[in-house]
Amino acid sequence: MASQQLTVPIDEQAIWETLSAAKRHGASQVREILAKADELHGLAPADVAVLMNVSDPELLSAVFTTARGVKERIYGRRLVLFAPLYISNMCSNECLYCAFRARNTALKRRALSQDEIARETRILIDQGHKRILLVAGESYPQEGFGYILKAIETIYAVKSGRGEIRRVNVNIAPLELDEFHALKAAKIGTYQLFQETYHRETYAQVHTAGRKRDYDWRITAMDRAQEAHIDDVGIGVLFGLFDWRFEILALLSHIRHLEQTWGVGPHTISMPRLEPAIGSEIAAHPPHPVSDVDFRKIVALLRLSVPYTGLIMSTRETANIRRETFALGVSQISAGSRTNPGGYSTDEEEGSQFQLGDHRPLDEVVGDIAELGYIPSFCTACYRLGRTGQDFMELAKPGEIKSHCDPNALSTFMEYLIDYASPQTKNAGEKLIAATLGRMGEKERRVSESLIAQVRSGKRDVYV
């Protein structure tokens, strides 16, 4: 199928009709929908729309409890950690909510050299990171897209002590098909791109110049990525630009399109909320602000709707909100983040894309996660073993992926504890690992103990 023939049907009228019909519901209907969600097959848009309107405290608690159960049955208590690496804030688009927008004269522009990229990468490695999300504004230096490919090569080449970056995911502008092929050849993990808002009128209002103004070019990027055999893609919405209820159902329409066209939906979904950004009035005063209660509901509803998809929570949110969403469905988080080029070297936020809510360093986040009883995971084994796209889902849906992910999470966590952790975090981590092993079945425990023993003996990057 030629990429230029693809379209992504977002039927706005049908979405509004679904939302309108869902206003009429009772407690029994809500509980029936939750029972359906508990079967781990996802939910239809009409069911999701009903749950959006739940406000009764008892029923809302039931929604959250069901989401927690679904998350733990599929992902266990693992939380995958990564760090964003912003290599450039140069951009040719005029997105009214973003500090990187082309006409924002208040922002100091910078594109890192390959040496600077290597220095930033080494800092992240020395903190303990194994997975990076490369981010760049949608305008590159003179070498164009080649700048991105060189940056990926640079990141993979950096070694420091026992550490290295084992997987680079990317969040960059939509590409042509041949460029996606080149990105695949660069051995990336996930290609991530947010539509920002699926509401066409709002999209046009907030994207006033640059190629990003083309709604269809952006929304079909995942089709071109899939056509180039990048089968792990990540999508998302910038909540606050338009009604979050509409956005959720439109996002599900996009997911359904990907599943029907390519046989697999997104590997991850991100849920950023608008945060203040220098030079942006919209970012400071969102047109459709999302309350903390509704934000928790968004996380839970996505977990119930697409149970096997990873949900990403960034450091836009405060530490408290992030903690609360762990139990509602989040499976991946960033930690110790900087959103400006060179931010890890200078420890400053000048030139940042948006204001952070969680400023804690990686070690503090890891220690906090362990104290809460979650397993910090730095695992990248699935990428190296080809467990991506449909292959990953074939293991995830029958629940078999846990037999790989739980041992790999523990071995990578042990690496972190030995090589990078503070004494306090190491103590909390050792206790968590012992408790987790005690709850495992015999076969899984033996595998986990073998991997951990190899790490203790000096081996690194061991996995199943």
In angstroms, the CA 180 to CA 229 distance is 9
Contact call for residues 154 and 105 (beta carbons, < 8 A): no
Q: What is the mean pLDDT of the chain?
A: 94
pLDDT value, residue 202 = 98
Question: At residue 7, does pLDDT exceed 90?
Answer: no
What pTM, to 2 d.p., does this model score? Answer: 0.94
Helix 402-419 × helix 423-439 angle, to 10°: 160
pLDDT tier, 4 (very low <50, low <70, confident <90, very high otherwise): very low
pLDDT value, residue 2 = 40
Q: Give the max Cα distance, the chain.
A: 61
pLDDT value, residue 8 = 87
Average pLDDT over residues 271-288: 94
pLDDT value, residue 400 = 64
pLDDT value, residue 408 = 95
pLDDT tier, 398 (very low <50, low <70, confident <90, very high otherwise): low
Query: Residue with structure tokens 């037999």?
Result: 403
Question: At residue 383, does pLDDT exceed 80?
Answer: no
Query: Residue with structure tokens 């969102």?
Result: 286
* pLDDT tens digit sequence for 436-451: 999 999 999 999 999 9
pLDDT tier, 228 (very low <50, low <70, confident <90, very high otherwise): very high
* pLDDT tens digit sequence for 45-98: 999 999 999 999 999 999 999 999 999 998 889 999 999 999 999 999 999 999
Which residue segments constitute the domains of the chain, with CATH numbers given? 72-382 (3.20.20.70), 400-456 (no CATH)
Q: Cβ contacts of residue 285 below 8 Å, gap of 6+? A: none
Whether the CA torsion 290, 291, 293, 295 is positive or negative: it is: positive
Query: Residue with structure tokens 């929908």?
Result: 33
Bridge partner list, 53: none
Q: What radius of gyration, in Å, describes the C-alpha atoms of the chain?
A: 21
* pLDDT tens digit sequence for 179-207: 999 999 999 999 999 999 999 999 999 99
